[in-house]
Chains A and B, each alone.
Chain A
């Protein structure tokens, strides 16, 4: 990486090690604060301020990246949520299911008790009197019980 070999240009190195530096300082600060006795608070404050300033210049760049990453994740979450909502409201509707329903409607079906027009009179030929050449077989009219 640029500048690494001769130690110049701190920025790339900072960016590289940024993650670690970001996480540790706040913790270190707290530990330091806890370790120091209360009577010596003024000194730690100054030290703290100095440390904070340093951390701030490094951490600020880190926070930008963090916030960008969080923003990206937020967007992903939002689109996933949108998709889930869509699925929930559409579920179980798909184009195919819709088509199955619409294709069964509007078609006259002689075997259905309720069906679209037009009715065809030949549908009932199975219950009409038929005389065959060999015998006088006939069937009872529509609606009666069958023996």
Chain B
């Protein structure tokens, strides 16, 4: 619907020159697949989690590693930076979320003391995010079909979303995104093929359920205006939904493979700071740059020089929107930025 309307309004697709978006950094250091990454809200730091059982904190500008944290449980799936950039959280198959204070000293083996462990989930922790501007509150999504709001200082669960209540997810929660313009609202994506909208103040029922996808929803991300959100799924599509009405506004469909292979799945999505671009990472190493309005793929980072050599597992924009970081099963992270001639209107 957005595509047709935009064309009717005379909009044309964003046009990139071949050297406009380039890989300007490759962050090497993990010895296993990268599963998750998160930027700090203010500085140029990134935390990444890997199959190698480590969290690495990077200065993305200099490519230096500032911290390499060996995890007690190596099966980590997600990581997040605290709003003040002083702590990182991670979770995985241990069904817990561990918090590390970056100013603590690591011992010679890289073991850093855990400052808090959030226990209570009955399944793996697939996703975690701090509530923006609140160092003390964090939300997790889990294989136990629930999301939980935690008080990090006490380690207590403040609210449980789903589970016993009938409007909760009916399968594993894989992803979540908090609305930065209204931090009382967050969405969760699940293996039950739906996205659910939650109000932090009302744990008893989901505000709304969004249908449309035909497979696990691996990634959800709010649109910059806080009124829409994007999703990426095992069904190979990305979609744009309207939060208030529940309408599916647009589907972003790949062209089928010439060799008629199975459609690659979408592992991760993120919007550029204006929302005009939708970045989508795929299981085959592609990283499509979609024109959100025209539903056209305007660039594939996977075909550029210095691109990843494996599945893109995670991606995220820096807080000022000037750089995209992608994480891959090829063990690397890459930073992409605009190096061409910019026209300012």
Contacts and interface: CB of A to CB of B under 8 A. Distances in A.
A142 B21 CA distance: 11
A103 B223 contact: yes
Interface residues of A, number: 42
Contact of A113 (B61, B240, B340): B340
Interface of B: 1-2, 4-6, 8-9, 11, 14-17, 19-25, 44, 61-64, 223-225, 227-228, 240, 242, 245, 247, 249, 272-277, 292-293, 305-306, 320-324, 335, 337-345
A126 B335 contact: yes
Contact of A130 (B61, B228, B249): B61
Nearest to B225: A103
Nearest to A98: B5
Given A92-B8, A111-B272, A126-B24, A120 B340 contact: no
> Majority SS of interface residues in chain B?
loop
B338 A146 contact: no
Interface in A78-122: 91-94, 96-101, 103-105, 107-120, 122
A124 to B, nearest CB: 8
A127 interface: yes
Which residue among B17, B23, B306, B321 has the maximum number of chain A CB atoms within 10 Å of its CB? B321
Contacts of B320: 110, 120, 122-123
A132 B62 contact: yes
A92 B4 CA distance: 6
Contacts of A116: 344-345
Contacts of A139: 24
Nearest to A109: B274
A96 B21 contact: no
A64 interface: no
A93 B9 CA distance: 9
Interface in A52-95: 91-94
Given A99-B227, A130-B61, A143-B339, 6 more contacts: A91-B4, A103-B275, A104-B275, A115-B342, A125-B322, A146-B305
A132 B66 CA distance: 12
A39 to B, nearest CB: 72
Contact of B24 (A97, A98, A110, A146): A146
A130 B247 CA distance: 47
A107 B224 contact: yes
A117 to B, nearest CB: 5
Contact of B321 (A96, A97, A111, A134): A111
A103 B339 CA distance: 25
A125 B60 CA distance: 11
Which residue among A103, A113, A120 has the maximum number of chain B CB atoms within 10 Å of its CB? A113
Nearest to A105: B274
A94 to B, nearest CB: 7
Nearest to A144: B339
Nearest to B22: A146
A51 B338 CA distance: 91
A103 B224 contact: yes
Contacts of A93: 5, 8
Given A112-B277, A132-B64, A143-B339, A100 B228 contact: yes
B344 A115 contact: yes
A34 B145 CA distance: 80
A75 B156 CA distance: 63
A35 to B, nearest CB: 63
15 contacts: A94-B1, A96-B245, A104-B275, A111-B277, A111-B338, A115-B274, A119-B342, A120-B322, A126-B339, A127-B24, A132-B62, A139-B24, A143-B339, A143-B340, A146-B306
A30 interface: no
A145 interface: yes
A111 to B, nearest CB: 5
A112 B272 contact: yes
A119 B247 contact: no
Which residue among A103, A110, A117, A127 has the maximum number of chain B CB atoms within 10 Å of its CB? A110
Contacts of A145: 19
A105 B274 CA distance: 7
A137 interface: yes
